[in-house]
Amino acid sequence: MLDANTSQTADGSFYRYLPVADDAMDWGLYVTGGGRGRIPPCQNYPPAGHPTLYQFDWRRGRTLPEFQIILVTEGRGIFESGPTGRKAIEPDTLLLLFPGVWHRYRPDPQTGWLERWISLNGRLVHHLMDQRLVRPAGAVCRPSDLSQITQRFDRLLDRIHSGPAENSIQLSLRTMDLMAEVIEQAGESLTACRPQFATTACKSPDETKDPLVAQALDLIWTHSHRPLSVAQIVSQLPVTRRTLERRFSLERNRSILDEINLCRTGRARRLLSETDLPIKAVAYLAGFASQERMRIAFLHHDRCTPAEYRRRVKMSQNKGISHS
């Protein structure tokens, strides 16, 4: 009998969600799950059985509280996120998913695909984002040497499959090895792209005429799920705060701080709608300094508290199901 955190099929497909060791968390990178699966043509995607946090459908998409690396081979499909827009997935494509960034993807029903994936988190991975070595705008990329990526993935997944309770620093090191190979092979495409935003709150920098404002929007989208101040944004740009605030207001009709809060509120809405995470966890993952700050933002933008917003969404979803 399989436990609630693991599944395996006759063709060797499997997934496991792992207990996280304290030493791995303290070290700065930990693995929360991994798997390998062949998705046949015309099969519903994603397969059933995963925890609610990881399930999604194409219409609503998903927002994760952690990172994922996905390697797609032997098939085609579609990927879409706010920073990337809609992208075709060709055979031998890497997908990088980022915490707090809405996304959706699926295989072409005519081809299906073979996928390998791993979920991870920790301050070391966030530090890679801070150094701009990985960015949500470069979430879809092609490795230059597929065999090296595949070998590292398979070694890591075999370790997870054979010893799921051994989620230690050794497993974290294997994951860092995979991350290093991904960055080395796909580094240019991971960092060179500019995001194309899908929501009104976080429009594409390409739609912004002022290049400094576009750069500021890029920084807001990439970093506003973590503590971020206007001063930090200004420090990354060759301009004074007063000048940037003036140009930002002319271009966006709101302040830089308002833009940060709009992006955070958008992330929080998705987490409230699509997960059962506690309100406090949603506030943290969306980038708010506290639960109270998020409550104030929701009262300003949505005229309700986060809890009330979640209740409204759930009621609307239940009505849709009852009438379908």
CA distance 246 to 96: 35
Q: Are residues 79 and 103 in contact, defined by beta-carbon separation less than 8 angstroms?
A: yes
Quickly list DSSP for 98-143: -TT--EEEEE-TTT-EEEEEEEEESHHHHHHHHTTSS-GGG-EE--
Inter-CA distances, 124 with 47, 48, 133, 168, 179, Å: 30, 31, 12, 15, 11
Could you tell me the pLDDT band of residue 190, with boundaries at 50, 70 and 90?
A: low
**CATH of the domain spanning 205-320, picked from 1.10.10.60, 3.50.40.10, 1.10.4030.10, 3.40.50.2300:** 1.10.10.60
Q: Which two tokens stand for residue 53?
A: 């946090």
SS3 sequence of 211-226: HHHHHHHHHHHHHCCC
Judged against a pLDDT cut of 80, whether residue 160 lies above it is answered with yes
Torsion 256-262-267-268 (CA) sign: positive
- Looking at residue 187, its pLDDT comes to 62
Q: At residue 157, what is the residue type?
A: L
- Looking at residue 94, its pLDDT comes to 96
Rg (CA), the chain: 20
CA distance 201 to 254: 11
Which position has the higher pLDDT, 279 or 315? 279
Residue owning tokens 């046949």? 40
CA distance 40 to 84: 26
SS3 sequence of 16-44: EECCCCHHHHHHCCEEEEEEEEEECCCCC
Instruction: Give me the residue spans of the domains in the chain.
Output: 6-192, 205-320
For helices 256-274 and 279-286, what crossing angle results, to 10°? 140
pTM exceeds 0.85 for this model: no
Superfamily of domain 6-192: Regulatory protein AraC (2.60.120.280)
Q: Which of 16-30, 119-133, 273-287 has the lowest mean pLDDT?
A: 16-30
In sequence order, the β-bridge partners of residue 68 are 97, 119
pLDDT per residue over 14-67, tens digit each? 888 887 766 777 788 888 889 999 999 999 999 888 877 788 899 999 989 889
Q: Which two tokens stand for residue 89?
A: 């997935």
Output the average pLDDT for the chain. 83
Burial class (CB in 10 A: 0-12, 13-18, 19+), 323: exposed
